[in-house]
Chains A and B, each alone.
Chain A
Amino acid sequence: MRPADRRPQPAKTALRRADGYLSSWLFAFGLIAGLIFGIAFTRAHGPWRRGNAEPWQLHPHDRQHYMMAVALEYAHRGDLGRALDKLIALRPLGDPLSQLAEAACALGSRGYLGSAGGIPAIRSAVELYAAQGRAGCAEQLLPPLATEAPAAAQATRAGTEIRPTPLPTKPPLQAARLATPTPRYRPALPDQRSFELLSLRSFCDLRRPALIEVYVVDYLGRGIPGQRIRARWGDEEDIFVSGLKTERGDAYADFQMDEGIDYAISMASGADALGATLSAGPCYTENRQTLKSYRVTFVER
């Protein structure tokens, strides 16, 4: 070996090799870390362009409102194909009309019926899916058609979507027995009108358990305030009056049932009591158990 070969390698070259090794390792680490950060950031912050969502990407709550808009358009145009196309564009997990029924039920249960235009929207949805043989709970939540106008008008004036469920016209029976008697509403004139039963439906609502809702309307469907309704159970009876809850319209009155008791409802002015007794049995909604309620409509003869 020549003397020149025995000379040590220059220190500069060794340093350069060490630097190069370190840089590559750091570069790879930085690249991976940056990649992870970049992907995580895009996942956390969502898409770059905010205003590019498709209807199927809507949040379930917004999706329900979108469905109501579809139903309203159907109510105006009557174009089933167009409505179905829009419901399918939402990429429902199952039958689009059944999903519509569920949306209407969910919105109706959340107080949407009290919002401006809530009743026509739900009714449009019901008409759309019922015409295709589907069913849901929304049809039971809707007030009778005849009393819709005053309720909707008052809801429009109020202008709030979610409002607390009004207290019953009468307190629960047990509380009523203990409470100090309060003055009752008395019609100024003897009630000579006669009524007959127009409809009787049960419904299940977590916020209105064991309630008998009574609507009293004339032959044009207008609410009649001040009409006395009789509830009988066992050897007892009580009277309640329509129109005392102005926020629910002139036609409305309600009566709180106790569980396990059968009630007979009739107009105090002489209409026959309902053929079937009403009792607050258990029912299920929103995966929870509550007590069944009823909606009864009397129409003037």
Chain B
Amino acid sequence: MGALVGLYLGWAQFPVESRNRSLSSLARLHRDEYSVMVAAGYAADRDAFAAIQRLERLGVADVSSHLRETTERIIATSSRDIRDIALLAQLADALGQATDAMQPFINAGPERA
């Protein structure tokens, strides 16, 4: 019982606030934010390989699939600004992961979206 109480206190009531976490441990909201920033970087330098390397820091096994799934989820939930979606869709397109749902955003482009 003491151990259970200790685990509850340590994990729920007073969780450790480490400053040693990796990008892969970011909450989904912040992972999406990072992905959008990388996509904006791609829009700036048009270096898809660099974008892949930056996304690999999220610890995903398949960057392309991760980007496709993230973009589709964000489109489906409308959880981000349309310009962010356009950036993600354009990067997904550059990585050969464009889907039908992304086409309107790819065609619009980040500046016009």
Q: A residues near B, CB below 8 A? A: 30-43, 46-48, 50-60, 62, 65-66, 69-70, 72-73, 75-77, 86, 115-118, 120-121, 124, 152, 156, 159, 161
Give, as a whole number of angstroms, the nearest-CB distance from A57 to chain B: 4
The answer, among A37, A40, A120, for a CB contact under 8 Å with B47, is A120
Known: A39-B10, A76-B41, A117-B51. A31 touches B2 (CB 8 A): yes
> Contacts A65-B23, A69-B41 given; 14 further ones with Cβ under 8 A?
A37-B2, A37-B6, A38-B5, A41-B7, A41-B10, A54-B30, A57-B19, A62-B21, A62-B23, A62-B57, A65-B57, A66-B23, A75-B44, A117-B47
CA distance A31 to B9 in the complex (A): 13
CA distance A46 to B15 in the complex (A): 8
Complex contacts, A86 vs chain B, CB 8 Å: 33, 37
CA distance A34 to B9 in the complex (A): 12
How would residues 24 to 65 of chain B score, 1 for a CB under 8 Å from any chain A CB and 0 otherwise?
111110110110111011011101011101100100000000
Task: Check: B17 CB closer than 8 A to any chain A CB.
Answer: yes
Known: A46-B18, A117-B50, A156-B50. A38 touches B6 (CB 8 A): yes
Interface contact B57-A59, CB-CB below 8 Å: no
Q: Kindly state the interface size class of chain B when it binds its partner.
A: 35 or more
Interface contact B11-A47, CB-CB below 8 Å: yes
CA distance A152 to B12 in the complex (A): 47
Give, as a whole number of angstroms, the nearest-CB distance from A46 to chain B: 6
Interface contact B26-A53, CB-CB below 8 Å: yes
The answer, among A32, A42, A75, for a CB contact under 8 Å with B15, is A42
The answer, among B5, B24, B26, B47, for a CB contact under 8 Å with A35, is B5
Complex contacts, B26 vs chain A, CB 8 Å: 51, 53-55, 58
Give, as a whole number of angstroms, the nearest-CB distance from A186 to chain B: 36
Give, as a whole number of angstroms, the nearest-CB distance from A55 to chain B: 6
Task: Check: B22 CB closer than 8 A to any chain A CB.
Answer: yes
